[in-house]
Structure 1
Amino acid sequence: MVEPSAFAAAVNDSPTPEAPQRFAFNGTGGEYFRIWIVNLLLSIVTLGIYSAWAKVRRTRYFYGSTNVAGASFEYHGNAVAILKGRIVAVALIALYNVAFSISDLAGFLMVIAAMLVSPWLIWKSLQFKLFNTSYRGIRFGFRGSMKQSYIAYLLWPLVSLITLFLAAPLAHQRMKKFQHEESRFGTTHFSFHGTVGRFYLAYLLVFVIWLIGVVAISVTLGGALFATIAAETSSAGQLAILVFVMALYLWMFLLFPIFATLIQNLIWNNTQLGRHRFTSNMKWTRMTFIVITNIIGVICTLGLFLPFATIRAMKYRIESMTLIPEDSLDHFIAAEQEQVSATGEGMADLLDFDLSL
């Protein structure tokens, strides 16, 4: 599915200077279902080879359906480059499985190797995705170095692991800061102002909500569970345990839309393109409703509702975003086109890689 960072750098043809420009998504479930079903069938028939071309079709549809200020985005990804990334991914997975079948030591060494190569793969993937995205003929780009990628995607995750994930919000903030501040639209760079403290507050809020839910479930179902176990009825006790565990699992799952909402709002409310700001006003209640009804729809239709579920979630996430121009963006567009035409783009041969996991 298309991440929001691919759309966030929109600039517009605003009829009124400084007027907020809300993102719009005009894709429909019916249209995407036809793309999805053809992609699925051809991928199965070709044993997965067509999946690279399927991704290009899917991404072009999502980008072309995303509009801001009367214009949509374009995707220029090459399916052959994506297929290379998928071959690398499959090879890594195969080597991982083979290594563990040989010995635990070989498996451990393979895990280390995968950790060492992952930041490079992520770096190339970010270059590929942004270079192959454009708006009104102007391409996005990514200037981050490989060294910065290893710091963001290897060093900080290791710090998080060593601290038993107490540093997870810090690692998350550093990753997003790297990803956003090293991205550009034409010759204008993004900036990111989300602080570590705000990330910790978001994580803390989710933890408090999770704890309240666990306590409520334990109080509500725990008494019945212990009473059933004390009655020494094995079948009833097993059922009570199952209900209790399922309730905890369901509560954990329902936390995801809450966390996703908080993080999207935090990230895009602290991102700028030059002097132009972005806002995101997602509501966790609405996102939770979409997630729950999507799951019900997918289960009841044996998976056929999946394209419609994807469109519903994507539409809400994109249309929750707004571009707040600092001044007239007509001049901004014209300036970008002139500067990009003057400097050219000489890195195309370095960017034809996509991890595509």
Structure 2
Amino acid sequence: MSNATSDAPSFNFAATPLSPTPSTVEAFTFTGRGSEYFRIWIVNILLSIVTLGIYSAWAKVRRNRYFYDNTSVAGSSFEYHGNPIAILKGRIIAAVLIGGYQVAIRTNPKIGLLVLIPLMAAMPWLVWRSYQFKLYNSSYRGIRFGFKGSAGQSYFNYLLLPVLSGLSLGLLLPFAHQRTKKYLHSESKFGATHFSFDASIGAFYKIYAICFVIGMLGFIGLGIIFGGSLVALGTAGKHAGPAGFSGPFFLMIFAMYAWMFLIIPLGLTMVQNLIWSSTKLGEHQFQSNLKWTKVFFIMITNLIAIVCTLGLFTPFAHIRALKYRLESVTLLTAGSLDNFIADAEPHGSAAGEGMSDLLDFDLSL
């Protein structure tokens, strides 16, 4: 990970420090290196291509084990126990479901719609089972994580709330975001000890409002600047033709996209800091201290490097981003971490895990 930093002022969006102060502060550390992960990444891609995707299940296990093994807190690393055969079966089921929909929609749009309805209706159930699978196959110090949320809660969070958010033209989106995070965090557990989540709905609305206002002010400012330039061109060069306006117009579009690229790391920073600074494991409190200037620096330099290397920098970019996100989190312990006890937990469904991969969902805690 690069040690370069931006000269721009850094803003700390972490939650207000908690009291009373816990006895020990344990920082998360990530020891993965880009050169190591590049070898895993390139072999995974080549073998997945050669085997027509069959190896992708083993590639996922190999990748996750590398990330888990290199992530540690309080001197111990995490472990991943996913079975590649189970993941492969889940991916086959998911591929059949999605492939059936693709064939149906190309054959007859009406038939495709009829196939899509039950597929979307099954999605919350798959998400729920995927949570169980992912957490059950994660452990720390020999104790597995688990997920106790119900299928009904998943349908509320992943079917009803998205529909209501769309009908409200996005006004309920912060509410839906808070409820889904609360569902995931408060229903997760480590052994027999539950996590808890106390971020308010208002805190999510505040983040969305800040990003919306800053975004709109930027768009308005850019519109005024480039709008004035276009008007000046129209009055000063009436014979320039459409070609004379294309340059400023496309420059304005580029500037608006660049402004959005500034807003995205700001939103990601505030959301991660809010979510993890509002999460506890029993009496142990998490705290996140991302800085948006560094998130932006990592994002923009990663993008430039990936483009310049025709994608070969991708694994290095993944390591840089993950390392900073993980090492910005600390665990404020209220006692010994050796007092957790194991608990029985459902294994979950590899079909849900396979579906989440095919649809590029990030369901990890």
TM-score normalised per structure 2 = 0.86
Return the letter of the residue paired with 1:44: I
Q: Partner of 1:286 in structure 2?
A: 294
| Farther off after superposition, 107-116 or 142-151 | 107-116
Supply the AA of the counterpart residue of 1:244.
M
2:71 aligned with 1:71, yes or no? no
Relative to structure 1, the CA distance from residue 89 to residue 248 in structure 2 (aligned partners, 3 Å threshold; closer, same or farther) is farther
- For structure 1, list consecutive stretches of 5 or more residues without a partner in the other structure: 1-16
Match 2:223 to one of 218, 222, 242:
218
Equivalent position SS for 2:330: strand
Moved more, 106-115 or 146-155: 106-115
Alignment of 1:203-352 (within 5 A): 203-228=208-233, 231=238, 232-330=240-338, 332-333=339-340, 336=341, 340=342, 345=344, 347-348=346-347, 350-352=348-350
> Cα deviations across residues 232-281 of structure 1 (Å, max 9, x unaligned)?
52112223222222222222233221111111111001000011110001
Answer yes or no: is 1:130 the counterpart of 2:135. Answer: yes
Q: Which structure features the higher share of helix residues?
A: 1
User: Following the alignment from structure 1 to structure 2, what is the Cα–Cα distance between the partners of residues 43 and 208?
Assistant: 44
Query: What is the CA–CA distance in structure 2 between the aligned matches of 1:234 and 1:173, rounded to whole Å?
Result: 47
The CA deviation at 1:346 is 6.0
**Using the alignment, how far apart are the partners of 2:118 and 2:251 within structure 1?**
41
User: Does structure 1 retain, via aligned residues, the 8 Å contact 2:147–2:345?
Assistant: no
Q: Deviations over 1:59-84 (max 9, x none)?
A: 10001110101110000001122222
Q: Secondary structure at the match of 1:293?
A: helix
Residue by residue over 1:156-211, the C-alpha shift from the partner in whole angstroms, topping out at 9 and shown as x without a partner, is 11111111110000011110111111100000000110111001001101101111
- Larger deviation, residues 140-149 vs 95-104: 95-104
Unaligned runs of 5+ in 2: 1-21, 359-365
Residues 1:319 and 1:240: Cα distance change in structure 2 (over 3 Å): same
For the aligned residues, what is the CA RMSD? 1.7
Aligned to 1:41: 46
Equivalents in 1 of 2:188, 2:277: separation in Å?
16
Aligned partner of 1:22 in structure 2 is 27
Q: What is the CA-CA distance between 1:115 and the residue it aligns to?
A: 1.8
Task: Verify the 8 A CA contact 2:196 2:280 in the aligned structure 1.
Answer: yes
Kindly, what percent of the aligned residue pairs are identical? 53
Cα deviation, residue 48, structure 1: 1.4
SS where residue 279 of structure 1 aligns? strand
Q: What code does the residue aligned with 2:310 have?
A: L
Report the alpha carbon displacement of residue 229 of structure 1 after superposing the two structures with TM: 5.1
Partner of 2:361: none
Of 279-288 and 212-221, more deviation after overlay is shown by 212-221
Equivalent runs, 1:129-168 vs 2, <5 Å:
129-168=134-173
d(CA) in 1 for partners of 2:328, 2:300? 19
Contact 1:143 1:183 in 2 (8 A): yes
Residues 80-229 of structure 1: matches in 2 within 5 Å?
80-228=85-233
In the aligned structure 1, how far is the partner of 2:106 from the partner of 2:230? Answer: 41
Match of 2:65 in 1: 60
**Cα drift, residue 324 of structure 1:** 0.5
Shift of 1:91: 2.4
Do the aligned residues in 2 keep the contact of 1:225 with 1:244 (CA within 8 Å)?
Answer: no
Counterpart amino acid of 1:254?
A: L
| Structure 2: distance between partners of 1:228 and 1:70 | 64
For residues 350 and 119 of structure 2, what CA distance do their matches in structure 1 show? 21
TM-score (structure 1 length as normaliser) = 0.88
Q: Is the CA contact 1:131–1:351 (under 8 Å) kept in the aligned structure 2?
A: no
How many residues matched? 331
- Judged with a 3 Å threshold, the aligned counterparts in structure 2 of structure 1 residues 107 and 251 are, in CA distance, closer, same or farther, namely farther
Residues 327 and 111 from structure 1, CA distance in 2 versus in 1: closer, same or farther, beyond 3 angstroms?
same
Alpha-carbon distance between aligned partners in 1 of 2:222 and 2:93, rounded to the nearest angstrom: 44
